Structure 1
Amino acid sequence: MREHRQFHDGERAVQRRAGEEAIADHRIGLIHDSVIGGARPFIAAQFMVALGSVDPAGRVWASILFGKPGFAHTQDGSVIEIDIPASRRDVDDPLWGNIQANKPLGILFIELGSRRRYRVNGLVSRLDDERIWISVREAFPNCPKYIQRRHLRSLDAPDGISQSVTGSTLCGTVEDIVRSADTFFLASHHVADGADVSHRGGDRGFIHVVDKGTLRFPDYPGNSLYNTLGNLQVDPRAGICIPDFVNGRLLQLTGTASLEWDQIDPGDESGGTRRFVTFTVGGWILRDAMPKAAWEYGDSSPFNPPVVP
């Protein structure tokens, strides 16, 4: 265990305001400075990995990589290798340019079918034409709440070739993807602690389009560590990646996020926290980048609060 792991000022500020500082102190023991032995087979079994990175301009992006089980693996837990040959890297994904300019990388291994997830933050120590090496800074499990179960029945290997469009306005297909989402990944960054990426889920429609440049979603009760919100407390730059499971597209948005406290919530959309996050869009990329796959939707999380139109 990382004995010297301490919460930074942003995490502490959010924990304190939420009244969960003591709970966070109790759970800090979950955070290790390497991947624990029991989580290593889980990592090797995954075909989908979410990542958070920072571009040369300081903007934060969330991405998703796909591969056959075993494409991500770790031998001793101190270094994770992700095998993605250059021929299968989508040049339209900001990730590849980002990790050449900035080494911090947040990783989330998630298995939608079992609602299991494991989070790793670290630094890119090496990148060549075959794989990425990430030196682990901290690693810890996350609870299964708010994950919608989906089972993968078949998966074609991604070929690195996709079509993409860019913009900054939430309209048309982009707006439809946002409104219909029940799953997305939220990336953030802290100047000392590096990049991070987390899962957010809810019933379809839990992300609200406020206007053509703004979306808003509730912040549900979680593990009380407040890694993501703590980062946003001190650096509002954030990235969102929404997978469109039906049409095989990935929507990546970059912008800034702010946490709203003590909101009026008569429909209990926040699950009792009365917290919401407002995301201001700086730009987006829409790519048909998900490999051909047959997804079977299982069910929504029983913990999902209601969605109010």
Structure 2
Amino acid sequence: MSSGAYHWGALAVQERVGVREAAEHVGRSIGTGIREVAAAFLGLQPHLVVGAADGAGRMWASLLTGAPGFVRATGPDRITVAGGPPEGDPLARALATGGTRVGTIALDPRTRRRMRLNGTLEVTGRGFAVHAEQVFSNCPKYLQKRQPLDLAAAGAGVVRRGDALTPDQERAVRAADTFFVATTAEADGVDASHRGGLPGFVEVSSPGELSWPDYAGNGMFLTLGNLTADPRAGLLFPDWESGALLQLSGRAHTRFGADGERRVRFRVESVVESAHPGRLRWSAPEYSPHLGSTTR
């Protein structure tokens, strides 16, 4: 059962960490309406990350790409997305099914701005729409700045599927400075969020397990709250310079240290690596200034 902006899982983490009062204040920024400035921001974006569960109940995060304007606000609490994921994407069927609960995040590496919108999917003639249940923006903390270069060369779609990371995929994860995570709390919907850090902040302990630190943020704990309620998670690692994607589905849990540190451990259950055409290539990063001392 949810309470205001948060369900019981998020509330439990907030209480444990001691930020309940601050989280209540921040939670007032979560609404259902899309403001004019948010609508303008969406209309400029060439990417949209979408999180959802597939037909087997596995959580995934997918990257949708199009010319600016392919995602736009078409009502006070509704966005439309032209097109969908490329063929072979694990969410292709879910994003063509009405009633799918989805979490979305639009992140602009050029300006280090991001916006999250969670809701329920409606199939349209040219793609799909999302009826918003939660709309909010986050601060630019831990976002890397990049500039667009050009379109990646035409790829070959899905390159590899598996149930564990290959050595090359392990290296890609260790080199990542950004990934996205999709989580759910069943009746309380789906959320898609961002994680950023210096290369190496995601540790790979084996082909089937990786982990990352949970740095101090806005105190909402929407992701950790969802994982408290439901361990399913989907990770998306974009290769900004080649346009390739690495998608992982599995289960995660949070370990709380006595010193206040938190670490999320993720067990890999399914892997999809792809090199689809039409991906934007981006420059090398200008790292977030907040990453100089990540004692978060």
1:146 is matched with: 142
Q: Aligned partners of 2:154, 2:286: CA distance in 1, in Å?
A: 30
Greater mean alpha carbon deviation, residues 175-184 or residues 284-293 = 284-293
Taking a change above 3 Å as real, the CA distance of residues 225 and 125 of structure 1, as seen in their structure-2 partners, is same
SS of the residue corresponding to residue 230 of structure 1 reads helix
Contact 1:153 1:295 in 2 (8 A): yes
Q: What CA deviation, in whole Å up to 9, does each residue of 1:206-230 have, x standing for no partner?
A: 1000112100100000111111110
2:169 is matched with: 174
2:127 aligned with 1:131: yes
Question: 1:170 offset after TM fit, Å?
Answer: 1.9
1:108 is matched with: 105
Taking a change above 3 Å as real, the CA distance of residues 245 and 290 of structure 1, as seen in their structure-2 partners, is farther
Taking a change above 3 Å as real, the CA distance of residues 12 and 292 of structure 1, as seen in their structure-2 partners, is closer
Q: Aligned partners of 2:203, 2:258: CA distance in 1, in Å?
A: 15
User: Which amino acid in structure 2 is aligned with residue 291 of structure 1?
Assistant: G
1:241 is matched with: 236
Q: Aligned partners of 2:281, 2:228: CA distance in 1, in Å?
A: 39
Q: What CA deviation, in whole Å up to 9, does each residue of 1:121-174 have, x standing for no partner?
A: 01002244x211111111000110111111113337x98961321012222221
SS of the residue corresponding to residue 95 of structure 1 reads coil
Taking a change above 3 Å as real, the CA distance of residues 250 and 294 of structure 1, as seen in their structure-2 partners, is closer
What are the equivalent positions in structure 2 for 1:267-286 lying under 5 Å apart? 273-286=260-273
User: Which amino acid in structure 2 is aligned with residue 196 of structure 1?
Assistant: D
SS of the residue corresponding to residue 268 of structure 2 reads strand
Question: 1:77 offset after TM fit, Å?
Answer: 2.8
TM-score (normalizing by structure 2): 0.92
SS of the residue corresponding to residue 70 of structure 1 reads coil
1:225 is matched with: 220
What are the equivalent positions in structure 2 for 1:55-134 lying under 5 Å apart? 55-84=54-83, 89-100=85-96, 103-128=100-125, 130-134=126-130
SS of the residue corresponding to residue 88 of structure 2 reads coil
Contact 1:263 1:276 in 2 (8 A): no
Q: Aligned partners of 1:104, 1:16: CA distance in 2, in Å?
A: 27
User: Which amino acid in structure 1 is aligned with residue 86 of structure 2?
Assistant: D
Taking a change above 3 Å as real, the CA distance of residues 293 and 91 of structure 1, as seen in their structure-2 partners, is closer
The total of aligned residue pairs comes to 292
User: Which amino acid in structure 1 is aligned with residue 134 of structure 2?
Assistant: E
Q: What CA deviation, in whole Å up to 9, does each residue of 1:65-117 have, x standing for no partner?
A: 111111000133311000116xxx42211122123456101000110121100
SS of the residue corresponding to residue 283 of structure 2 reads strand
1:267 is matched with: none
User: Which amino acid in structure 2 is aligned with residue 285 of structure 1?
Assistant: V
Contact 2:95 2:128 in 1 (8 A): no
Q: Aligned partners of 2:87, 2:279: CA distance in 1, in Å?
A: 19
Taking a change above 3 Å as real, the CA distance of residues 221 and 168 of structure 1, as seen in their structure-2 partners, is same
2:192 is matched with: 197
SS of the residue corresponding to residue 174 of structure 1 reads helix
2:296 aligned with 1:301: no
Contact 1:239 1:253 in 2 (8 A): yes
User: Which amino acid in structure 2 is aligned with residue 154 of structure 1?
Assistant: D
Q: What CA deviation, in whole Å up to 9, does each residue of 1:252-282 have, x standing for no partner?
A: 0000000010167xxxxxxxx5111000000
Contact 1:249 1:290 in 2 (8 A): no
Question: 1:306 offset after TM fit, Å?
Answer: 5.8
Q: Aligned partners of 1:6, 1:218: CA distance in 2, in Å?
A: 25
User: Which amino acid in structure 1 is aligned with residue 44 of structure 2?
Assistant: A
Q: What CA deviation, in whole Å up to 9, does each residue of 1:25-84 have, x standing for no partner?
A: 111110011212211000000001111010111110011111111100013331100011
Identity of aligned residues (%): 35
User: Which amino acid in structure 1 is aligned with residue 122 of structure 2?
Assistant: S
Q: Aligned partners of 1:46, 1:100: CA distance in 2, in Å?
A: 22
Q: Aligned partners of 1:235, 1:261: CA distance in 2, in Å?
A: 17
2:26 aligned with 1:27: yes
Gaps of 5+ in 2: none
Question: 1:298 offset after TM fit, Å?
Answer: 4.0
Q: Aligned partners of 1:214, 1:108: CA distance in 2, in Å?
A: 25
Q: Aligned partners of 1:305, 1:193: CA distance in 2, in Å?
A: 35
